[in-house]
Structures are given as structure tokens and as C-alpha cells.
Structure 1
Amino acid sequence: MARQVVERTMSVIGHNVNVMGPDGVILASGQDDRIGTVHEGALLAAQQDRVVEIAHSDALALRGVQPGINLPLRCHGQLVGVVGITGDPVQVRVLGDLIRVTAELMVDQAQAAESRQWRYREREEFVGHAAAGRLAPRELTEWAAGLGIDLEVPRRATVVAPAARTSEHAEALRALQRDLVQVRGVLVGRVEPQELVVFTPTGRSRGAHEDLTALLRGAEGRLRHATGRAFSGRTAFEHAYLTARDTLAVSGLVGADGGAYDFDDVPLLALARGMGEGWRGDLLAEPWRRLVAADRSGELVATFGAYIQHHASATAAAGALHVHRNTIRYRLARIGEITGLRMDHLPDVLMLYLGPVLGSDH
């Protein structure tokens, strides 16, 4: 910042400018050999908090000093340094207040930018911890209040991940995070290193989600993303994140394709994924695992996917796969033989439908 003050002001006034810290040490100067030395005139200006003019005769008696004028610099009322202009005090006095005001404006802007960046980082940290469920209720409430985050505002989460493990796709995720800084109303964080979770308010504040959607559309093909259900209250961040995360995890199963998904597209699979851990999930997943192990060509899995996607209609599934309806019936019978399930019995079909997302290895 000191260098920027020197460069910008010297380009206008045609005189050497020095910027010193409160201890009188020259931080930046148009005369490089003076950087790091102590300017006794600046030290006096800082200690006494006043303008110090140095004539030619005074310069001979002080260390590290040339004729000129030195003015205290303040940021929000606090003395932070000194700015000096080299030259005959009579000639440069008229420039003093102008240079000081310019320098103070630059310092104020830099401090405001740093404050915004710090606040953004703290919000990012809060979002990551809240989404992961790592905060106790009191800690969550107090931290949110300190950041000005209203927990009663309904929010939904969108989890975004690279579509492939390449540097290009990873850069697309970083670019999205940079662009989101400019979107009003969003809260951004990370639970997993390679995923971004973005919270947007619902109801009257739909603009934030629309802006997010537009940014994601611009990264089509490079990013995958899924949006969960909206929640409010102390558990809102965690629940909204989990529904989005599980939606993204299951969206490619049983016939889904593309790069953008919504919880309402696959609600049963998304909820089942979160409940399928442990031996119960393993037991429910056994028929699906048997089918995958026996179906080396993938033909039966594809047939079941088409059957589900077309609402258990053998005729519609046959049309989608460009085969005869009897072929579909034969394959469904074969699926029944392998899994021990009946494809004309809804509970059995449902059990196989849930198979890909249940069990400890999914």
C-alpha cells in the first residue's frame, strides 16, 4: 500500500513522496536508497501527531531528512503512519493536504477490502462447519448472529463438483467460487475439498439462485451439480446440504443422465442413500449386487433402468431400447431368476430400484 501511495501521487505532483510507519521508518519512497532508514521528521510528526515542516537549515540537524513537509496519516481516526513530500516547504505546503487525503482514502479502501475478504473467509468457514454438522446448537446460533446470518430464512443447498478429474475442470470450480463473490445473497463453503456447497435463499429472494444457475450454465460440461430441499432453523444448513449431496451422488443411477439435478427428480434414492448404511443396507442391496455380477454385458441393468424410467411399462422400455416387447419380458424374467425378485411385484421392483444406493460400499 505504501508503494501504491508513492507511485500514484508522484505521477501527479512531480515531487518525491515518502511513506513512513508510526516508528518513522521509510516504507516506500521515490528514492529507493532511503527505504528502511529512519526519517526523524516523520518520527516527530507521528509522536506529536502534527504536521512537521523541515527547511533546508533544519535538514542539516536531523538524521535521514531532506527539506519538505510531513503529515500524519489516519485510518478511522487512528494514526497509522506519515506521508512526506520532498521539496521547499513553501512550494510543497499547498500539496500536503491533497496528498494526505489521497493517501488516507487509499488506506481506507484497502482496509475495507481486507475487512470484506476477512468476513467472506469467516462466512465460508461457518458454512463448511454448519453444513457438516460440526457445530453445537449454541455455537451455531452465536456464530450466525455475529455474521448477520438469519437462520430462519429458508435456504437450499447446491453441491457443485468437477465433471472430471482434470486441471481444467478443477479450475472451473475455482472460477465459479470467484464469480460467486459478486452474487448477493449466496453463502459459499466447502465440506469436501473437491466440492463446493452454495446456499441460496428461497421465497422472495430467488434472484441469488437464478444468478447461480446462470453461472453454472456457463460452466456446462465442466461441472456437475445438484440442488437439495429448502430448510430453515438451526439444522437448515446440514439438512439442505445432505439432500443436495445425496442427490448428486445418486443422480447418475438407474437411467438419470446429464450434469444438473434436483432433489425432486430422485427424492426416494436421495433419502435412501442417507439411510442405507450398515447391515440393513447391505441386505437390501444383495439382489442388485447379484444382478450386476451376473450381467457382464450390462444389458440387463440397462433394461431395468429403461423399465423404471418408463414407469414399469415393458412396451415403452422396448421402444426406448429399440427391441421387441417380448425381449424386454424375457430380460425381466431373467432379472427375476438372478435376483430372486418378481418384476411384476411393486415391492420387489422397489427393492431392486434402491439397490444401487444401499449398502456400505455406496
Structure 2
Amino acid sequence: MELSKFTAQKIVQKMMEVIPYNINVMDEDGIIIGSGDIKRVGDAHEGARKAIENCAINEVYDDKEGMKPGVNEPIILKDKVIGVIGITGHPDEVRRFSKLVRVTAVLLIEQAKANEEVQNKRLNMQKFYQELAHRKNEYDEEFYEKAKSYGLDITKKCQTIVVDGDLNSKEFKRICQGYSNYFDLENNKTVFFITNDHEYNTVLNNLKDSKVVNKISLGGQQDIAAVSLENAQMAMEFGMKMKPSYKIYNYEEFKFFIHLSYDNKESLVSLFANLDKSGNNIELIETLQAYIEENGDINNVANKLNIHRNTLNYRLERIHKLTGKNPKTFLELFELLYGLIWR
């Protein structure tokens, strides 16, 4: 194990809080990498080098050959000298602190090593979920085993749940407790990977009931997790345009619209050019969305928007005039819907 500068300086700070002497920490080559006298960092320490060479405590009683009086004790881990602890002062005065400093240093070094191992494990886990979220080719045995080590059986079909909301809140973190197979996406959303039906229903119900969750999207069962994730992301993208007031979007519900394609989508998008230039464009878009959500039921749409039926009809006529498409005509409404999606 290598003794880092960060850990060395931490040892110095901790020990100088309780010991009234300067502490130096040297690496395996006798170079000062931590010190109460910051100007000495980077200097060679001859007392430390002798302690390393003899693998034993080196005591210096007088100023000589660039050495100050003090006690220099090697730090030995697994029969290897990884550094030296030096206490500046007359050996008869500081010797009694030497063992305490060395034991504390070893504890701090082992703690740093344990923290590094935890961090590496966390990074490896994130790398796995990153690959799981993007890998669309067939899994190999090594990947199956890696997934299993994280408690995920991808020999079974995988279902994904994509969540949007206040993901840093205590309530959301509480939902995540006890379930490790989730991953934070680049667009401030979180995806849950699940291969167990009971677990899927439990997580979904908890998310449904949560006030900090704004939107939930379901990708359906797939042999490849990344495909389910892509489905869930597309379902949320389409769902928020087609049914913005809904909380849950299921890929199966929007599958037809997602798979439907046009050679030239620009003509659909251009339907909204005049509408977007109007002063009340947001109001008209919201009206169209509500009209779609309520399946064209005038009373329900008016109630949803909290407006009079006459106001609603005026807005629909306005949409017709600006886009050239009548929302009350099924096929033209379909064109408006797809123009809205690709807008």
C-alpha cells in the first residue's frame, strides 16, 4: 500500500491536536509528504531514511547533517515499510509519544484504505449500471456473474422504471433503501432495474404514493435491460407531450406512436409555426393537450382548463386558423398530435 499525501497530512493534523510537538510524515523514500511545518513538505528527511534502511526507530539527539532532534519510527504494514513518522524534539521528551503516534497513524492509514476500497467498489458498481443502461448486445457469462454479485438476476427478463422528481430528497432516498439496483441517468432522472415481479410491484407502488415523484415511466419486460430503458425514456418523452397531466406512462400505451414514423417530420413540425408566433401560444398548446387527454369531450376539457365551453370552442377555432388543421376532425387531430410530439 502507498501512503498518500492526503492521508499523511491528516495524520499530522490529528496528532498535533493532542501532542505539542511538530509531526512529520515521510514516504517510503524518506521524502516529507506531510508536516506541521508546511515549508518542509517535499524535503528529504535523513533521519527517516536511516529508519527505513535499518527498519528500526532512529533517534536524533543533535542538529547534524540537516537532521533535527527527534524520534523517527517506521510505519510497517504487512512486513513492508510504507513510510516513517517523525516527532521533532529531544528524544527523551518525545519518545513516550512515539508509539501512540505510530498506532494512530496505522489506524488512519487502514481507515483510508478501507474508504478507498468502498469507493472503488462504488465506482465499479456505477460502471456496471452504466454498461447495463447502454449495452444492447447479448450478455456473456462474465456479465451475468457481475450482475449476480450486485443482486440482479439478468437471466430473467428485466423491467425498468424511470423516475423524474425531487430525487435528492430524504423521502426518495428512503424509497431506495433496501433496493440497490438503480442508477442515476444523465438527464436528472433515476432508473430502477428489476427482474422480480413482487419487487417490481413494491417499488412501483412506493413511487406512485410518493409526493416527491413527478413522473414515472415503465419500459416493459425485455431480455436486454437497455432496450427496456430506452422504451421507458421514449414513453416518458411522448407521454409528457400527449398527456402532460398524467403521472405514469407505460411504453405499451404509446408504442404505436413511438414506432410510427414519417419520412419528413418537418412538415408536421411546421404546422405549429404560426401558432408559436402567436401571443397566446402556451395557452393554445395546453388546450390542445387537454383536448387530446379528454378524448375530445368538450365538457371535460372545459372543466379541466377551468374555462367556459365558448372559450374552449374559440381556442379550438384559433388552433384551426393558425395551423390549418381542425382539432375536431379525427385525421387532422392525429396530424396535430404528431406535430405536437415532434415539435
Partners of 1:156 and 1:240 within 8 A in 2 = yes
Give the Cα–Cα distance (whole angstroms) in 2 for the partners of residues 205 and 78 of structure 1. 50
State the match for 2:118 in structure 1: 116
Partners of 1:123 and 1:147 within 8 A in 2 = no
Partners of 1:251 and 1:257 within 8 A in 2 = no
Give the Cα–Cα distance (whole angstroms) in 1 for the partners of residues 76 and 259 of structure 2. 61
What one-letter code is carried by the residue in structure 2 that aligns with 1:8? Answer: K
Give the Cα–Cα distance (whole angstroms) in 1 for the partners of residues 19 and 202 of structure 2. 46
State the match for 1:355 in structure 2: 338
Sequence identity of aligned pairs in percent?
20
- Of 125, 129, 132, 1:130 maps to 132
- Of 228, 253, 268, 2:253 maps to 268
What one-letter code is carried by the residue in structure 1 that aligns with 2:61? Answer: H
Q: Compute the displacement of 1:104 (Å).
A: 1.7
Partners of 1:69 and 1:93 within 8 A in 2 = no
Residue 67 (structure 2) pairs with residue 72 (structure 1)? no
Report the secondary structure of 1:257's partner residue: coil
- Of 217, 223, 237, 1:227 maps to 217
TM-score (norm 2): 0.69
- Of 25, 29, 51, 2:35 maps to 29
State the match for 2:297 in structure 1: 313
Give the Cα–Cα distance (whole angstroms) in 2 for the partners of residues 13 and 300 of structure 1. 73
Residues matched between the structures, number: 323
Change (3 A) 1:180 1:105: farther
Q: Compute the displacement of 1:55 (Å).
A: 4.5
Partners of 2:219 and 2:232 within 8 A in 1 = yes
TM-score (norm 1): 0.66
Give the Cα–Cα distance (whole angstroms) in 2 for the partners of residues 88 and 273 of structure 1. 82
Partners of 1:200 and 1:209 within 8 A in 2 = no
Q: Compute the displacement of 1:31 (Å).
A: 3.4
The more displaced of 36-45 and 208-217 is: 208-217
- Of 48, 56, 60, 2:61 maps to 56
Q: Compute the displacement of 1:56 (Å).
A: 1.7
Change (3 A) 1:274 1:98: farther
CA RMSD, aligned part only? 4.8
Change (3 A) 1:39 1:199: same
What one-letter code is carried by the residue in structure 2 that aligns with 1:80? Answer: I
Partners of 2:31 and 2:44 within 8 A in 1 = yes
Mark the runs of 5 or more structure 1 residues left unpaired by the alignment: 162-171
Partners of 2:325 and 2:336 within 8 A in 1 = no
Change (3 A) 1:69 1:84: same
Change (3 A) 1:65 1:278: farther
Residue 232 (structure 2) pairs with residue 244 (structure 1)? yes
Partners of 2:51 and 2:72 within 8 A in 1 = no
